[in-house]
Amino acid sequence: MAGPIRGFLAAVIAALLLSACGINEVPTAEENAKARWADLQSAYQRRADLIPNLVKVAERYARQERQVLTEVTEARARATSIQVSADDLGDPQRMAEFAQAQGALSTSLGRLLATFEAYPDLKSDQVFINLQSQLEGTENRINIARRDYNEAVRQYNTTIRTFPAIIAAKVIYGAKPMTPFEAKEGADEAPVVDFGDS
């Protein structure tokens, strides 16, 4: 009888020790970060889906601004061509490429929206107003999703570097730090819009 009790006690003690070393904490933090990344990708996809509609409306009113519209279309194509999977979250170079493409798209959209300000008829068009509102909402969602992703990455990276979870992170999972989303260089400066009138 003592043998089965000892075996049971050993199993309970082993389970307690494993739970204390972060065996569940590491995958939980990792999955949370991956879920936040999926949210961010969803927000970017929403923006990419809205852009063709916005460009179509803009073409109706701003035929002479073809260069800006072309820039937005090309930036969208570049941004959607760079895909980052959950497996790439630990690759700083891949994350930088993704951030750069998304940043170029944001800059092009900023120029396009500023261009619209020069066309009073466009500003009063309900379709444009709705699309502009959708884009502004999408940009806000992207900002929130970036913040949430970076917070999840911070929590994950902290988890895999602190005791006792570091034991499970290194020994069991071989965990590596994830790369947070970083703004492109110069993102703190407003885009310059030049209509060539001066």
Domain for residue 36, yes or no? yes
For 17-44, the DSSP string reads HHHHTTTTHHHHHHHHHHHHHHHHHHHH
Gap between the Cα atoms of 175 and 193, Å rounded: 45
Contact at 8 Å (CB) between 90 and 115?
no
What confidence score (pLDDT) does residue 196 get? 43
Q: How many domains does the chain have?
A: 1
What confidence score (pLDDT) does residue 50 get? 79
| Backbone Cα Rg of the chain | 24
Q: Profile the chain (198 residues) by mean pLDDT over runs of 10 residues.
A: 68 59 81 90 84 72 62 78 81 86 82 68 64 81 90 92 85 87 62 43
Domain for residue 178, yes or no? no
What confidence score (pLDDT) does residue 154 get? 93
Domain for residue 191, yes or no? no
- Structural domain including 72 reads 10-173
What confidence score (pLDDT) does residue 151 get? 94
What CATH number is attached to the domain comprising 62? Answer: 1.20.1440.20
Domain for residue 95, yes or no? yes
Domain for residue 186, yes or no? no
Distances (CA, A) of 65 to 7, 118, 130: 78, 11, 21
Domain for residue 96, yes or no? yes
What confidence score (pLDDT) does residue 148 get? 94
Gap between the Cα atoms of 61 and 22, Å rounded: 59
Domain for residue 79, yes or no? yes
The one-character DSSP state at 64 is G
Domain for residue 49, yes or no? yes
pTM across the whole model: 0.59
